[in-house]
Structure 1
Amino acid sequence: MMNKRDVIIYRAVTGILSALILMGVFQYFFNHEMVKGMFTTLKYPTYLIYPLGILKVLGLIAIWSNKSKTLKEWAYAGFTFNLLLGASAHMNINDGGYYPSLVALTLLIVSYVYNRKLYS
């Protein structure tokens, strides 16, 4: 049986995480030149911007829907790698831009733990 408190924590944390990710996706599509400059500074290829934005939206859909446990696990893994690589890239150029990635990674871990607690 699901604990109501755990459900609230899961949904709140996953909601905040989703909002952060969607704000980034919004930037990818509607502030492309700024994101392109950031990707160039971080030494990432700029052709990844649109596919990454699409994959982030699909990842959020996979996390929120309970259609496939495997797909949900892959979405959590993909976000983990993305956030770790983003934090690492910002640390490498020492611009202090890694804090949002670490906050999102913390939210992702909490979301994942409560997802496993509720749906496994």
Structure 2
Amino acid sequence: MATPYIYWISTALLSLLYFVSASLYIAKGDFVRKAQADLGYSAAHLMPFMIAVKVLGPAAILWRFNVALSDLAYAGIFYHLILSGLAHLGVRKPKGAIPAAAGLLLLVGSFATQNAARELPSPYAPVAVIQASPN
């Protein structure tokens, strides 16, 4: 079945998106502060928090030592991506919302297929429907 491959590819790409973003926050802090100021945010308060979120969220999903924490990370990333996309659209910069839209697609792929690839199932992920053949 292709479902475990979909899970691992979408999860790896989503994690890569977040880890690269966190490294950008660390390496190019002045650029990120200016970009956040253009969106109307106080970057001095957001930078350390966002670096932590962008590292710990995907780590909780990849490591998955606790299913509830992994589900909470999915929810946090979902809200982050929605708010990020809306922030860019709100200042009429739709190109800035493209990474958030791509991240949402990867997030949905990862969340929807996690039970097919992980030993401990999430109670919130969709359950695959198995159709029995009529005999």
Normalising by structure 1, we get a TM-score of 0.91
CA distance in 2, matches of 1:13, 1:28: 23
Q: 2:124 maps to which residue?
A: none
**Share of identical aligned residues, percent?**
27
Partner SS state of residue 67, structure 1? coil
Tell whether the 8 Å contact from 1:63 to 1:76 is kept in structure 2 after alignment: yes
Give ranges in structure 2 of 5+ residues lacking alignment: 122-135
Tell whether the 8 Å contact from 2:81 to 2:104 is kept in structure 1 after alignment: yes
Partner SS state of residue 40, structure 2? coil
Q: 1:15 maps to which residue?
A: 12
> Aligned-pair RMSD on alpha carbons?
1.2
Q: 2:71 maps to which residue?
A: 73
Partner SS state of residue 98, structure 1? helix
CA distance in 2, matches of 1:55, 1:42: 19
Q: 2:3 maps to which residue?
A: 6
Q: 2:21 maps to which residue?
A: 24
Q: 2:106 maps to which residue?
A: 107
2:41 corresponds to 1:44? yes
CA distance in 1, matches of 2:100, 2:67: 25
1:64 CA drift (Å): 0.6
Q: 2:51 maps to which residue?
A: 53
1:103 CA drift (Å): 0.7
Tell whether the 8 Å contact from 1:80 to 1:105 is kept in structure 2 after alignment: yes
Total equivalences in the alignment: 117
Give ranges in structure 1 of 5+ residues lacking alignment: none
Larger radius of gyration, structure 1 or 2?
Answer: 2
1:117 CA drift (Å): 3.9
Q: Which amino acid aligns with 2:100?
A: S
Q: Which amino acid aligns with 1:105?
A: L
